[in-house]
């Protein structure tokens, strides 16, 4: 009788220790010698509407990105109207807690304002006017936060899947020069801010080579670019660790820092043959595409924890090349993947569950540095 009891007590003590360990350990402390650990925050979190969320954000992370509030449609909704309220609040939260701030994002074809490409008569503007508008947008916003916002995603998603330029209106009107113009304007407005090119699927060879072409082209013209932002909206098995490693090494060889800027791991079936993050594409929901509405089975929870551990082991190995890893959302309940690319599903992408408790994946990530 004595032995099983001792065993049970020992197991209980171990379990108690590991949850205590999870509560006491923070991502930012565990990875302080490796890279920054960031999180994307939504409007309510920027407004500090929920103390529990604010506490989790400030205790676990040391870098902040606004999930939506600093996009063009919000910050510059009309030609002569700028809206700085949310950016100010984000900075307040960040500075009070000694956090690094990323401005996301200056030039992106999505979540843009309708006026941007139009004259007052409704015609499409020409390249000269587009350049003026991009300059005004960037110099006003970056200038306003000179010395305060640490880094900018200057251009977001300018590449198509084959590595050529995305045929957005920025490209159709401005040609590839819109990218270098954006970086020049950002640098002029705040010479000390770090400047990044950000995109999804940047591990895929064709798109990776496209991004390297952009980086090298900017560098050959002496235009400052400090980092490449790999969004990292990934799944349980794609992209492979080998391909992520190759990409990290190839990006680092160009001389820029590598950031993983929007990390989340979807456990749900993908309606696409290849994963993507094109926010304009959505599919219909059906039960087969939403297999875990009432909770994640342990087996998948374990798979997710292992996937996160494999990724962070690789990140740790290359921490000299990596500046920051940012999670795209605070907890599973708030992940954009619950509504993308299919609305109304239940996904389990992040390290904290819907009750804000650390998941197995959280412990697995922490253990990659503690072990």
Residues that bind ligand XIL (CB under 6 A): 67-68, 156, 231, 262, 277, 279, 336
- Of 223 and 279, the one with the shorter C-beta distance to ligand XIL is 279
Q: What are phi and psi of 32, to 5 degrees?
A: -65, -25
Separation between Cα atoms, residue 322 and residue 65, nearest integer Å:
17
Taking the complex as a whole, the smallest distance from the CB of residue 231 to ligand XIL amounts, in Å, to 6
The residue (of 279 and 314) whose beta carbon lies closer to ligand XIL is 279
Return d(Cα 152, Cα 158) in angstroms, integer: 15
Q: Are strands 257-266 and 227-230 parallel, antiparallel or unpaired?
A: parallel
Task: For tokens 């990659």, name the residue.
Answer: 368
Judged by beta carbon, residue 43 or residue 306, the one nearer ligand XIL is 43
Q: Provide the minimum distance between the beta carbon of 153 and ligand XIL in the complex, in angstroms, as a whole number.
A: 7
Least separation in angstroms between residue 251's CB and ligand XIL is 18
Beta carbon nearer to ligand XIL, 67 or 347? 67
| Spatial separation of the C-alpha atoms in residues 143 and 185, rounded to whole Å | 10
**Can you say whether the dihedral through the CA atoms of 233, 84, 53, 338 is positive or negative?**
negative
Question: DSSP state, 123?
Answer: P
The token duo for 279 is 């926010």
Q: How far is the CB of 354 from ligand XIL (least distance, A)?
A: 17
Token pair of 118 as six digits: 């139009």
Task: From the candidates 53, 67, 157, 194, give the one annotated as an active-site residue.
Answer: 157
d(CA 331, CA 197) in angstroms, rounded, equals: 26
Contacts of 346 (CB under 8 A, 6+ apart): 290, 292, 293, 294, 338
Dihedral (C-alpha) 161, 165, 167, 168: value to the nearest 10 degrees? 100
Which residues pair with residue 327 across a beta bridge? 39, 263
CB of 277 to ligand XIL, least distance (A): 4
Integer Cα distance of 268 and 289 in angstroms:
7
DSSP string of 312-357? HHHHHHTTTTEEEEEESSSSGGG-GGGSSSBTT-----SSB-TTS-
Burial zone of 219 (CB within 10 Å; 0-12 exposed, 13-18 middle, 19+ buried): middle
Can 157 be counted among the known catalytic residues?
A: yes
* Tokens found for residue 189: 């407005």
Largest CA distance in the chain: 88
Residue with smallest beta-carbon separation from ligand XIL: 336
176 phi and psi, to 5 degrees?
-65, -15
In the annotation, is 85 catalytic? no
Q: Indicate which residue of 53, 67, 194, 262 is catalytic.
A: 262
Q: Considering the complex, what minimum distance in angstroms separates the CB of residue 163 from ligand XIL?
A: 18
Residue 209 C-beta: closest distance to ligand XIL, Å: 20
- Residue nearer to ligand XIL on the CB measure, 22 or 169: 169
Nearer to ligand XIL, 163 or 341 (CB): 341
Question: Which C-beta is closer to ligand XIL: that of 54 or that of 335?
Answer: 335
Catalytic residues: 157, 262
């Amino acid at each position: 009788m004595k032995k099983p009891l001792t065993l049970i007590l020992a197991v209980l003590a171990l379990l108690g220790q590991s949850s205590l360990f999870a509560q006491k350990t923070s991502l930012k402390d565990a990875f302080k010698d490796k890279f920054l650990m960031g999180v994307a925050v939504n409007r309510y979190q920027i407004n500090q509407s929920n103390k529990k969320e604010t506490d989790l954000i400030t205790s676990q992370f040391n870098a902040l990105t606004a999930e939506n509030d600093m996009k063009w449609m919000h910050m510059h909704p009309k030609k002569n109207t700028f809206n700085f309220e949310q950016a100010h609040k984000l900075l307040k939260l960040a500075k009070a807690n000694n956090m690094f701030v990323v401005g996301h994002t200056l030039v992106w074809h999505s979540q843009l304002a309708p006026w941007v490409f139009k004259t007052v008569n409704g015609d499409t503007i020409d390249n000269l006017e587009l350049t003026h508008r991009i300059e005004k947008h960037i110099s006003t916003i970056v200038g306003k936060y000179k010395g305060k916002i640490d880094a900018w995603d200057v251009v977001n998603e300018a590449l198509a899947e084959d590595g050529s330029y995305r045929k957005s209106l920025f490209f159709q009107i401005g040609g590839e020069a819109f990218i270098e113009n954006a970086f020049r304007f950002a640098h002029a407005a705040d010479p000390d801010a770090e400047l990044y090119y950000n995109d999804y699927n940047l591990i895929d060879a064709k798109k990776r080579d496209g991004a390297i072409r952009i980086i090298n082209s900017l560098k050959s013209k002496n235009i400052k670019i400090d980092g490449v932002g790999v969004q990292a909206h990934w799944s349980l098995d794609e992209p492979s660790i080998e391909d992520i490693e190759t990409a990290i090494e190839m990006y680092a060889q160009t001389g820029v820092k590598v950031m993983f800027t929007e990390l989340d791991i979807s456990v749900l079936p993908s309606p696409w043959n290849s994963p993507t993050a094109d926010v304009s594409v959505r599919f219909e929901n059906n039960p087969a595409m939403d297999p875990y509405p009432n909770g994640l089975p342990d087996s998948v929870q374990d798979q997710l924890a292992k996937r996160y551990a494999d990724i962070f082991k690789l990140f740790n190995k290359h921490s000299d090349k990596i500046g920051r890893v940012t999670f795209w959302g605070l907890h599973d309940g708030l992940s954009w993947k619950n509504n993308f690319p299919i609305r109304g599903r239940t996904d389990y992408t992040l390290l904290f569950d819907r009750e804000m408790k650390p998941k197995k994946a959280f412990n697995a990530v922490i253990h990659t540095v503690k072990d």
